[in-house]
Amino acid sequence: MTSSNFRSWPLYLILTVISMPLVIMYVYLFVDTVTDTTAGSLIPDRFTLHHWRFLWEEPETGRVSIWTVTLNTFIFATCTTLINVSASVTAGYALSRLNLPFKRFFLGGILTLHAFPTITLIISIFLILQMIGLYNTLIGVILVKAALELPLGIWIMKGFFDNVPWEIEMAGLQDGASRFTVWWKLVLPQVQPGVAALSVFVFLSAWSEFILPQVLAPSGSAQVLSTYLSNLIFDDMKPDFNMFKSVGVFYALPVIIIYLIFNKQLMNIYGGGTKG
């Protein structure tokens, strides 16, 4: 809100000052990927594409190609989204609309899990995956990630289903449709914005996930971009920040694009108070 009763410039000043560190980091994140800077100087002085060589050069022995890793990340994020959204959409509907024994118990459970320190379970999940042989596989990480985001997903979808008018469903039943048809053909189309928002949210969350792949699938073949980048950073004794940043920008680009396209849907999930 702008009001002629108040001045704006002090706000601009103070916001600009505290935003400065972040802006500097963002700017250098991008600029450093295509330039070289003389040691000790802050101003880049040469243009180069050298830092992006990981895209076309053969990987060093022992390292996996960035394209394989990207594909892994994409598979990981997509499958996680699919599993999470399908389970959320059905469970959210059941909790919002259907007759259910122990409904209070289920809802309370979902809420508890939602607030629950999921990461604390990683030790036992690690051991379980080892025991059932899904350690170091993408399937394992996908299942775990989809599950960890599930309480939030169910909660969000329940919120969206709650807002569909009951009369639509009643009308559907009167028109002779089964409850399943009513759900599939009449209710689901009404919550499409919710499904879209949740999908974007889960996809981004999986795309950025670090701890789970790091612990549950650390080796080469199942590596994703987050672990690839962090291995790169931890391995090197002499850090090549320009190269790290290039990999980082390559990794972050989809996130930024998705953010720009689905800005509104994301705000819906982050800001809509859907988390409680």
Partner 1 sequence: MRRAHLLGLGFLSPALAIILMLFLIPVLLTVMFSFTNMSTATGISGGAYEINAASLRKLADAGAQESFVETLGKESFVVDDAGITAAAAAYGEQFANEVGSQMLGERFSSRRDLERAFRKLKSRPRSTRDIKKAANLFKRSVLNIRFETAGGLVGAVTDNGIEMTPDQQELLTKTIYTGWTWTSDNFALMAQIPYVWRVAGNTVLYVVLTLAASVGLGLFLAITTFYLPSSSATSFRAIWFLPRILPNVIFVLMWKWLAWDTGFLSSLFANFGVPPRNWMLDTGVNAWVFIVLINGIVGASLGMILFGSAIKSIPQSMLHASEVDGASRWQQICYIILPQLRWPIMFICAYSTLSLLTSFEYILLSTDGGPGGATEVWSLMAFHTALDNYAGNLQYGLGAAMALMLVIVGILASLVYLRIFNFNDLVAKPRIEQ
Partner 2 sequence: MRISIENFTKSFGDTTVIEDMSLEIGDGEMLALLGPSGCGKSTTLFAICGIHRMNAGRLMFGDTDVTEVSSQKRNVGVVFQNYALYPHMNVYENIAFPLKVRKESKAEVDRKVQEIAGLVHIGELLQRRPMQLSGGQQQRVALARALIRKPDILLLDEPLANLDAKLRLEMRSEIRRIQLATGITAVLVTHDQVEAMSMCDRIALMDKGQIVQLSTPKDMYENPSSDFVAGFLGNPPIAFLDGTVADGEFRLANSQVTLPVPSGIEIPGEGAPMRFGVRPEFFQPGNPLKVPGKVSFVETQGREELYDVMLENGAVLRSIQSQNAGFRLGQEVSWGIEQDRVLAFGPDGNRL
Secondary structure of 143-189 in HEC code, one letter for each residue = HHHHHHCHHHHHHHHHHHHHCCCHHHHHHHHHCCCCHHHHHHHHHHH
Q: Least distance in Å: CB of 124 to partner 1? A: 4
Write out the binding residues for partner 2, residues 78-107 only, by CB under 8 A.
Answer: none
- Residue range at the interface with partner 1 (CB under 8 A); choices 13-21, 46-54, 62-70, 185-193: 13-21
H helices then E strands: how many in the chain? 14, 2
Write out the binding residues for partner 1, residues 162-191 only, by CB under 8 A.
Answer: 162, 166, 169-170, 173, 179-180, 183
Q: Least distance in Å: CB of 185 to partner 2? A: 8
Binning the chain into helix, strand and coil, the percentages to the nearest 5 are 70, 0, 25
Applying CB under 8 A, does 17 fall inside the site for partner 1? no
Least Cα distance to 78 among 155, 157, 145 occurs for 145
Is residue 177 within 8 Å of residue 185, measured between CB atoms? yes
Per-residue contact track with partner 1, 43 to 82, x per CB under 8 A?
----------------------------------------
| Distance between CA atoms of residues 194 and 192, nearest Å | 5
Write out the binding residues for partner 1, residues 239-258 only, by CB under 8 A.
Answer: 239, 241, 244-245, 248, 251-252, 255-256
- Cα–chain center distance at 171: 37
- Nearer to partner 2 by C-beta: 186 or 258? 186
Residue 49 binds which of partner 1, partner 2, none (CB < 5-8 A, kind-dependent)? none
Write out the binding residues for partner 2, residues 176-195 only, by CB under 8 A.
Answer: 176-178, 181, 186, 189-190, 192
Q: Least distance in Å: CB of 206 to partner 1? A: 10
Burial class of 149 by CB neighbour count within 10 A (0 to 12, 13 to 18, 19+): buried
- Nearer to partner 1 by C-beta: 22 or 58? 22
Applying CB under 8 A, does 196 fall inside the site for partner 2? no
Q: Least distance in Å: CB of 8 to partner 1? A: 6
Amino acid at position 240, single letter:
D
Cβ neighbours, 10 Å, residue 127: 11
Residue 266 binds which of partner 1, partner 2, none (CB < 5-8 A, kind-dependent)? partner 1
Least Cα distance to 229 among 258, 262, 207 occurs for 207
User: Where on the chain is the footprint of partner 2 (CB under 8 A)?
Assistant: 165, 167-168, 170-178, 181, 186, 189-190, 192
